[in-house]
Amino acid sequence: NKNGYDYEKCKETADWLLAQTTLRPLVAVVCGSGLGGLGDSLKDAVAFNYQDIPNFPQSTVHGHAGRLVFGKLKGRPCVCMQGRFHLYEGYPIQKITAPMRIFKLLGVKTVILTNAAGGLNEKYKVGDVMIIKDHINMPGFAGCNPLMGPNDERFGTRFPCMSDAYDRELRQLARHVGDELGFGDFMHEGVYCVLGGPSFETIAECRMLRRLGADAVGMSTVHEAIVARHCGLRVFALSLITNQAVMDYDSEEKANHQEVLQTGKVRSEQLASLVSTMVMSMKHDSGDMLDGMCGQ
Ligand X SMILES: O=P(O)(O)O[C@H]1O[C@H](CO)[C@@H](O)[C@H]1O
| Spatial separation of the C-alpha atoms in residues 158 and 62, rounded to whole Å | 35
Q: Which residues are CB-contacts of 8 (< 8 A; sequence separation ≥ 6)?
A: none
**Is residue 217 part of the contact set for ligand HPA (CB under 6 A)?**
yes
Q: How far apart are the first and last CA of the chain?
A: 37
- Residue 173 CB-half CA count within 13 A: 20
- Coil, helix or strand at residue 46: strand
The distance of closest approach from Cβ of residue 187 to ligand HPA in the complex, given in angstroms and rounded to an integer, is 18
**Is residue 257 part of the contact set for ligand X (CB under 6 A)?**
yes
| Spatial separation of the C-alpha atoms in residues 219 and 293, rounded to whole Å | 35
The single-letter DSSP state of residue 28 is E
Given candidates 26, 93, 116, 272, which one binds ligand X under the rule CB under 6 A?
116
Q: Which residues are catalytic?
A: 33, 64, 86, 88-89, 116, 219-220, 243, 257
- Please write down the long-range contacts of 89-93, taking CB distance under 8 Å and 24 or more positions apart: 89/60, 89/61, 91/57, 92/3, 92/5, 93/139, 93/144, 93/145, 93/146, 93/148, 93/223
Stretch that binds ligand X, among 2-10, 48-56, 218-226, 287-295 (CB under 6 A): 218-226
Closest CA relative to residue 264, chosen from 255, 252, 272: 272
Given candidates 115, 137, 244, 268, which one binds ligand X under the rule CB under 6 A?
115
The distance of closest approach from Cβ of residue 255 to ligand HPA in the complex, given in angstroms and rounded to an integer, is 4
32, interface contact from ligand X, ligand HPA, none, CB < 5-8 Å by kind: ligand X
Closest CA relative to residue 82, chosen from 108, 54, 47: 47
CB atoms within 10 A of CB 61: 18
Residues of span 23-62 touching ligand X by CB under 6 A: 32-33, 61
Binding-site annotation, residues for a purine D-ribonucleoside: 201, 243
The distance of closest approach from Cβ of residue 247 to ligand HPA in the complex, given in angstroms and rounded to an integer, is 11
Given the complex with ligand HPA, which of 82 and 242 has the nearer CB atom?
A: 242
Question: Are 181 and 208 a contacting pair, CB within 8 Å?
Answer: no
Given the complex with ligand X, which of 9 and 84 has the nearer CB atom?
A: 84
Question: Are 233 and 108 a contacting pair, CB within 8 Å?
Answer: yes
Which runs of consecutive H residues, i.e. helices, occur in the chain?
7-20, 37-40, 93-106, 138-141, 168-180, 203-211, 222-230, 257-281
Given the complex with ligand HPA, which of 33 and 97 has the nearer CB atom?
A: 33
Given the complex with ligand X, which of 50 and 155 has the nearer CB atom?
A: 50
Given the complex with ligand HPA, which of 53 and 219 has the nearer CB atom?
A: 219
**Is residue 97 part of the contact set for ligand X (CB under 6 A)?**
no
Residues of span 237-266 touching ligand HPA by CB under 6 A: 242-243, 245, 255, 260
Given candidates 156, 200, 228, 267, which one binds ligand HPA under the rule CB under 6 A?
200
Stretch that binds ligand X, among 171-179, 215-223, 226-234, 277-285 (CB under 6 A): 215-223
201, interface contact from ligand X, ligand HPA, none, CB < 5-8 Å by kind: ligand HPA
The footprint of ligand X (CB under 6 A) covers 32-33, 61, 84, 86, 115-116, 197, 218-220, 257, 260
